[in-house]
A and B are shown apart, each in its own frame.
Chain A
Amino acid sequence: MTSSMLFNLTTLAYLASMIIFFAFLAGKHKTVGLAGTCTAFVGLVLQTVAIALRWKESYDMGVGHAPLSNLYESVVFFSWTIVLLYLFIDLKYKYRVVGAFVVPFAMLGMAWAQLGLNTGIEPLVPALQSNWLLYHVVTCFLGYAAFAVACGISIMYILRARHEEGSTVVAAGGLMSMFPPTRVLDDLNYRAIMIGFPLLTLGIITGAAWANYAWGTYWSWDPKETWSLIVWFVYAAFLHARFTRGWVGKRAAWLSIIGFGATIFCYLGVNLFLSGLHSYGNSKM
Chain B
Amino acid sequence: MATTHRSFAQSVWDFFCSLKLTIFLLISLALTSIIGTVLPQGQLAPEYVASISALKLQIYSKLGFFDMYHSWWFIALLYVFSLNLTACSIKRLPHVFKFISEPMLVLGDSLRNSFPLKHHVTFSGSLESGRDALAAFLKSEVAAPVVTEHNGEYHLFAQKNAWCRLGVYVVHLSILVIFVGAIIGSLFGYKGFVAIVEGTGASTIQTRSGMPMPLGFELRCEKFNVDFYPTGAPKEFRSILTVLENGKPVPGYKDVKVIVNKPLSYKGITFYQSSYGQSNEGSEHSLTVTARSGGNEQHITMHEGEQVPLKDGSTLKLLESTQEVRQFMPEYSGPAARIELTPRGKAPQTFIVMKNFPDLSAQRGDELIVHYEGTDAKMYTGLQVAKDPGVWVVWLGCLLMVVGLFIAFFMSHKRVWIIVSKGQVRMYGNASKNQAAFQMQFDDLTGKLNDLKI
Mark A residues whose CB is within 8 Å of B.
63, 122-123, 125-127, 129-130, 132, 194, 197-198, 201-202, 205, 208-209, 212-219, 221, 223, 226-227, 229-230, 233-234, 236-237, 240-241, 244-245, 262, 270, 274
Contacts and interface: CB of A to CB of B under 8 A. Distances in A.
B37 interface: yes
B402 A198 contact: yes
Given A125-B234, A198-B405, A229-B33, 8 more contacts: A63-B229, A129-B261, A194-B409, A212-B391, A215-B274, A226-B34, A237-B27, A274-B37
B260 interface: yes
Contacts of B405: 197-198, 201
B30 A126 contact: no
B395 interface: yes
Contact of B22 (A194, A223, A226, A240): A240
> Nearest 7 A-B pairs (CB), nearest first?
A216-B386, A126-B260, A233-B30, A223-B37, A237-B26, A130-B261, A198-B405
B34 A230 contact: yes
Most interface-central of B33, B38, B386 (chain A CB within 10 A): B33
B253 interface: no
Given A208-B398, A237-B23, A126 B234 contact: yes
Interface in B372-408: 384-386, 388, 391, 394-395, 398, 401-402, 405-406
Given A198-B405, A205-B402, A227-B37, A233 B26 contact: yes
A123 B233 contact: yes
B36 interface: yes
Nearest to B32: A230
Nearest to A241: B23
B123 interface: no
Contacts of B133: none
A216 B37 contact: no
A47 to B, nearest CB: 27
A215 B382 CA distance: 12
B263 A213 contact: yes
Given A198-B402, A198-B409, A237 B30 contact: yes
A213 B395 CA distance: 12
B409 A221 contact: no
A244 B19 contact: yes
B191 interface: yes
Nearest to A132: B261
A132 B401 CA distance: 19
A219 B36 CA distance: 14
A244 to B, nearest CB: 5
B30 A127 contact: no
A233 to B, nearest CB: 4
Question: Which DSSP category, helix, strand, loop or mixed, fits chain B's interface?
Answer: helix
A75 B234 CA distance: 25
Interface string B184-207: 000000010000000000000000
Most interface-central of A216, A217, A234 (chain B CB within 10 A): A216
A274 B39 CA distance: 9
Contacts of B332: none
Nearest to A233: B30
Interface in B229-276: 229, 231, 233-237, 259-261, 263, 270, 272-274
B384 to A, nearest CB: 6
Contact of A198 (B41, B182, B229, B406): B406
Contacts of A213: 261, 263
20 contacts: A125-B234, A126-B237, A126-B260, A194-B409, A198-B406, A201-B402, A208-B398, A209-B398, A212-B391, A213-B261, A214-B261, A215-B384, A216-B272, A216-B388, A217-B191, A229-B33, A230-B33, A233-B30, A237-B23, A245-B23
Contacts of A122: 231, 233
B177 to A, nearest CB: 13
Most interface-central of B260, B395, B402 (chain A CB within 10 A): B260
B163 interface: no
A41 B231 CA distance: 38
Contacts of A197: 405, 409
Contact of A240 (B19, B237, B261): B19
Contact of B261 (A127, A237, A270): A127
B37 A270 contact: yes
B29 interface: yes
A226 B33 contact: yes
B69 interface: yes
Contact of A234 (B30, B37, B191): B30
Contacts of B235: 123, 126
A221 B68 CA distance: 10
A240 B34 contact: no
A244 B91 CA distance: 14
